[in-house]
Every structure is written in C-alpha cells, then in structure tokens.
Amino acid sequence: MKIRVAGVALVAAFSLVLSACGGTESADSSSASAPAGPFEYKDARGKDVKISNTPTTVVAQSTVAAALLDAGYQVKGAYGELTPGADGKLSYQAGSLDPTKIEVLGKTYGEFDTEKYALMNPELLIDYTFDQKGLWYVPQAQASRVEKLAPTVAVPGNYKTTDEAIETFVELAGKLGADTSSPALSKAKSDYQAALAEVASVAKSSGLKVAIMSPGKDSLYVVNPAMLPEATTLKGQGLDVIDPTKATKDVFAQQSWEEATGYRDVDVILVDARNYDAAKADLAKIATWANLPAVKAGQVYPWYASAPYSYTSYAKIYQELATDLGAAKKL
C-alpha cells in the first residue's frame, strides 16, 4: 500500500513511511574502492543476491542512493524524486545527491529510462520494497526487463526504528566498498545521538502531546506510531506521540475531516513536509483543521517523510525537531 496525499495522488499507504537534506558522511565516498568480492546480500524479498565480483556500476532509487552516499558510497545512476523545485534545488528526499555526477534515469514516480539504464551496463540496482515483491520506483510495466538487465536488491521500506534503518544502509554501503569506520561517519553518528538526546530532554521537560499527520484533500491521514520508525524512535526518547483516534494496524488511519476534532488535545502536529506548503491555503479553508489548537497556535512542524535513512539526515531532522519542540507550549 502506497499513499501520496495533499496534491500528490494516492498511490498506497506505505510510501509515506519513509521520512532533510544533509552533507555526506564520508568525504571520500566517490573514491571508495570496492572489495574484490563476491558480493552477497539477502534482500527484503528473501532473495539471495550473489555476484562474483563486487559491483561498481550501481543504480539506485534516489532516496536509497542518498542514504548510501551519506554512508560513504556514490552510485553511478539514480531515479526517483530528482525534479528541482522553483529554487533550482532538489527535495530533501534526494539528500546530498548531485545530479551532475550521476546518470539520472527518472525524475519522479513512474519514470524510468530503461534504454539509458541498459547502456550503462549496470551490475546492480537497489530500491525499496513495501510488499516484499516489487521494487518501489521501478514501473511495473518495465520491471521484467529491468530484472533481466542486472541483479536487483530490495531493501525494506519500513523498520522498527531509524537506528535500524540507518544501519541497514551503512552495512550495504560497506559491502559495496564504503569505509564505514571513517571519522566522518563516526562524527555523523555522534551528531545523530546528540540530537536524539536533545529530543529526549525537551520531551521530558515539556510533556507535549504530538500527532503525526498527512492532510489530504478529502481525508486526514494520521500516523499509527507503532508502524513508523521515526515515531517509535521518538517514543523511545520519551516523546508522547499519540495513536490515531481511529484504531488501525496500518501505517495510517484514514479519517474524515469531521473526525479531526478528535485531535483538539494535541499540542504539536508534525505534518508531511513534501506537500504541506502547497496545501496550506486549501487546509485553511477546512474549519476542523484551522480550528485545531495546535494549528491556531502555529505549532505545526515538518515531518520529513521519505528522507534518506542516514545519520547526517536524521541528525538534522531530530535537531530541528528538538528546536521546534523547545519553542512549543503545552496548550
């Protein structure tokens, strides 16, 4: 199930679980020398991927590529969310990727240039999977041909915590040749841990009640924190991230706008950063949203859905959150 809401078409609910742009954690990522091999990896589909020599021509979905870059590994090509905004910059979902240094095979969901991919003589493709079957950003119509051109690795789309998610990419980057014991990566991890400690401190002193949401045109999607790695990580630091008022075993509870009144006791709302700015004007016209105390108090802050799982990325995300929470008041 992948969901794209508030101006981005609903595709299915798991696509929102991926949660800021940051610098690379290894200054020597592009020059990392691949180990001789073999490359072996058991992926999220239960598939044992074995390649006699460690691949050097690697292509990845953009958020995956950004996470690998922050862990010290530069891919040769990427596809995904790579369309520059009005300011000419890529979305935070692309992390520190530089499109001029890679082959861009697609700039948004549903785009994948199979011909260009074939001409690269690829040795490995890496993408997320949410159903343990398909590759998230590889269009279904092209999946069979893509699978024939090179081995593919599917990494899990969801994790218990951001720690687990980040370590998945650090491990994979190491298998591809990154120096995962570098001082830069160690520093990034320390920054990440320090940012989480700040969140814990603010959570303890403030007692704030927090909800994570993705407002849509016709519905409100509220995160079930047990199903989102950011939420479980924050709860582990003592932050009171509440459950949806409508019980669900999925990542999101889909609720009507009339049901939004059930969140009047929430002090802070974390909202999907991918589309909130574009949707603000429309949301202001929805009375049940506009009259929520957190909204009226201006205590609506970004949730960086689909951010790269890296220490650099989440150090910035959690540091920003700690600052936002520190400025918020109990309502």
* Average pLDDT value over all residues in the chain: 90
pLDDT tens per residue, range 163-172: 999 999 999 9
Alpha helices per DSSP H over 19-161: 62-70, 114-119, 140-149
pLDDT tens per residue, range 181-223: 999 999 999 999 999 999 999 999 999 999 999 998 889 999 9
Q: What is the mean pLDDT of residues 49-54?
A: 96
Inside any domain, residue 219 = yes
Rounded Cα–Cα distance for residues 231 and 222 (Å): 12
Rounded Cα–Cα distance for residues 56 and 123 (Å): 7
Inside any domain, residue 16 = no
pLDDT tens per residue, range 265-283: 999 999 999 888 878 889 9
Asked if residue 38 and residue 132 are part of one domain, the reply reads: yes
Inside any domain, residue 41 = yes
Asked if residue 198 and residue 171 are part of one domain, the reply reads: no
Asked if residue 172 and residue 193 are part of one domain, the reply reads: no
pLDDT tens per residue, range 53-84: 999 999 999 999 999 999 999 999 999 999 99
Q: Which of 150, 179, 208 is the last residue of a domain?
A: 179
pLDDT (0 to 100) of residue 275: 83
pLDDT (0 to 100) of residue 34: 67
Inside any domain, residue 68 = yes
Alpha carbon 314 to its chain's center: 10
Kindly indicate the confidence band of residue 33, based on its pLDDT and cuts at 50, 70 and 90: low
Asked if residue 146 and residue 261 are part of one domain, the reply reads: no
Torsion over CA: 46, 77, 40, 118 (sign)? positive
Beta-carbon contacts of 318 under 8 Å, excluding residues fewer than 6 positions away, are 192, 195, 196, 198, 199
Domain span at 268: 186-327
Inside any domain, residue 14 = no
Question: For the chain, how many structural domains are there in total?
Answer: 2
Inside any domain, residue 67 = yes
Asked if residue 202 and residue 125 are part of one domain, the reply reads: no
Percent of the chain past pLDDT 70, that is, above it, reads 90
Inside any domain, residue 21 = no
Q: Given phi > 0 = left and psi -120 to 50 = alpha, else beta, which region is 37?
A: left
Asked if residue 193 and residue 149 are part of one domain, the reply reads: no
User: First and final CA of the chain: distance in angstroms?
Assistant: 35
Rounded Cα–Cα distance for residues 215 and 300 (Å): 12
Asked if residue 174 and residue 234 are part of one domain, the reply reads: no
Asked if residue 191 and residue 156 are part of one domain, the reply reads: no
CA distances from 285 to 91, 105, 271, 278, 294 (A): 27, 39, 17, 14, 16
Q: Which of 179, 207, 228 is the last residue of a domain?
A: 179
Asked if residue 285 and residue 265 are part of one domain, the reply reads: yes
Asked if residue 258 and residue 157 are part of one domain, the reply reads: no
Q: What count of other Cβ atoms lies within 10 Å of the Cβ of residue 212?
A: 26
3-class SS of residue 266: coil
Q: Which of 179, 200, 223 is the last residue of a domain?
A: 179
pLDDT tens per residue, range 230-245: 999 999 999 999 999 9
pLDDT tens per residue, range 144-162: 999 999 999 999 999 999 9
Asked if residue 278 and residue 204 are part of one domain, the reply reads: yes
- Total residues belonging to the chain: 331
Inside any domain, residue 6 = no
CATH number at residue 59: 3.40.50.1980
Asked if residue 243 and residue 213 are part of one domain, the reply reads: yes
